[in-house]
């Protein structure tokens, strides 16, 4: 043993003189079965007494009419001018927001689309691009998300029109979507076009 090691041991013992071990308190054995039963009963009671949260998302996830992965789809509500729809179809409107739904489940896509449309309406966004993908890699059930999206877009009152995107924006795996003008945007348009008229 070297002098250096001996010195370290001596120093340690010197420092530890007068140190007493910590007194451990006696442990109480808990009956785990009783506690877990009590927790389960409390959770059950809380679940029964809480008012169920109302799901405002009315988009359905039950079976919808299927479309093919490469099908070109379009829809417009009555009152949408042909020129507006043509401009949408050709991708001439500026895309203000995008929603990518690749690799989402139907339920995830349903939730994200509903929230996204409402966020766009809150921020006065009119033209968006939604990308569900073609779904042509799913051999057993091709185009499933695309099929649901077509159904959901028609079911949303804020959607005025939609059309399959041009190739450079995703082609048959993407949709241009035109949203309803907010009241503020309508008022701005009225003011802009009525200037100079009496």
DSSP code of 139? S
pTM for the model stands at: 0.67
How many Cα atoms occupy the beta-carbon half-sphere of 19 within 13 Å? 8
**Residues 115-133: tens digit of each pLDDT:** 999 999 999 999 999 999 9
Question: In the chain, how many domains are there?
Answer: 1
| Mean of pLDDT values over 141-166 | 94
Distances 38 to 29, 31, 45, 57, 65 between C-alpha atoms, Å = 17, 11, 11, 35, 48
Mean pLDDT over 25-42 rounds to 62
- Is residue 111 included in any domain, yes or no? yes
**Beta bridge partners of residue 130, listed in sequence order:** 99, 175
Domain assignment present for residue 172? The answer is yes
Give domain status of residue 59, yes or no: no
CATH number, domain containing residue 171: 3.30.1370.110
- The H-or-E segment that residue 118 falls in is helix 106-122
36: phi then psi, degrees, rounded to nearest 5: -65, -35
Largest CA distance in the chain: 108
128 or 63, greater pLDDT: 128
**What average pLDDT score do residues 143-155 get?**
94
pLDDT for the residue numbered 78: 96
Find the domain containing 133 and state its range: 74-181
Q: Are strands 127-131 and 175-179 parallel, antiparallel or unpaired?
A: antiparallel
């Amino acid at each position: 043993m070297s002098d250096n090691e001996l010195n370290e041991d001596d120093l340690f013992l010197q420092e530890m003189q007068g140190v007493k071990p910590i007194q451990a308190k006696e442990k109480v054995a808990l009956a785990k079965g009783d506690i877990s039963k009590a927790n389960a009963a409390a959770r059950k009671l809380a679940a029964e007494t809480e008012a169920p949260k109302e799901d405002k998302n009315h988009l359905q996830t039950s079976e919808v009419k299927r479309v093919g992965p490469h099908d070109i789809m379009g829809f417009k509500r009555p009152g949408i001018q042909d020129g507006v729809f043509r401009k949408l179809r050709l991708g001439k409107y500026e895309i203000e927001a995008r929603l990518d739904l690749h690799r989402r489940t139907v339920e995830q896509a349903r939730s994200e689309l509903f929230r996204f449309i409402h966020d766009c309406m809150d921020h006065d966004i009119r033209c968006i691009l939604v990308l569900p993908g073609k779904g042509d890699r799913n051999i057993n059930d091709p185009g499933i998300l695309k099929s649901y999206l077509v159904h959901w877009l028609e079911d949303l009152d804020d959607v005025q029109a939609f059309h399959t995107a041009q190739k450079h924006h995703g082609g048959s795996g993407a949709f241009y979507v035109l949203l309803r003008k907010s009241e503020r945007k309508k008022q701005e348009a009225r003011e802009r076009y009525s200037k100079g008229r009496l």
